[in-house]
Amino acid sequence: MTFFNFEADFVDSLRCIPMIVRLKLDTCGVKLKLAEWNHFTQPECEQLVELLCEKSTEITAYKDYVSQLIFQHTKNEASLLSIDPHPPWLNDREIPPSITTKATEQQVNITLAQWANLTPLQRFALIKLTRSQHENNNFLPALKEFELLN
């Protein structure tokens, strides 16, 4: 699955950056602003969805491609981020405090077994949906989609 159901209102047009691309951006260390994303063509956005970004050669190629697109469309150099060598979405043995806090606010208890059963992309999405600067409207729909509601 490439997109989540809670992203359905924008994935047809790709007017927002989908979680699959956001995960790849965090993996390769490029900060992509929505304004930059909106300069890209539909095929370029689709390519960023489809390109692999797991092995070191793929990560480098993805970083280079995104950086090239940013420069091509905006004439600005890509903003680079440090890459977490142990990102929390890959840790299935510990639920990040932001998830526990946000789930408690929604009166939901996520167990460690439930967390471990999520895919890294699902865990990444939940982490991103708890960030203070992010609109949190999709946190509850994501919990429902991931079958985390009791």
Q: What is the pLDDT of residues 119-147, one digit of tens each?
A: 999 999 999 999 865 556 889 999 999 99
136, 93: one domain: yes
Low-confidence ranges of the chain (pLDDT < 50): none
Q: By CB neighbour count within 10 A (0-12 exposed, 13-18 middle, 19+ buried), where does 73 fall?
A: middle
| pLDDT attached to residue 150 | 61
Q: How many residues does the chain have?
A: 150
Domain boundary among the residues 80, 113, 128 is at 80
Full-model pTM:
0.92
Task: Write down which residue in 26, 49, 80 finishes a domain.
Answer: 80
Structural domains of the chain, count: 2
What pLDDT, on a 0 to 100 scale, did the predictor assign at position 97?
95
Do 25 and 75 have their domain in common? yes
Q: What is the pLDDT of residue 10?
A: 82
Q: Do 76 and 102 belong to one domain?
A: no
pLDDT of residue 95: 97
Which domain range does residue 139 map to? 88-145
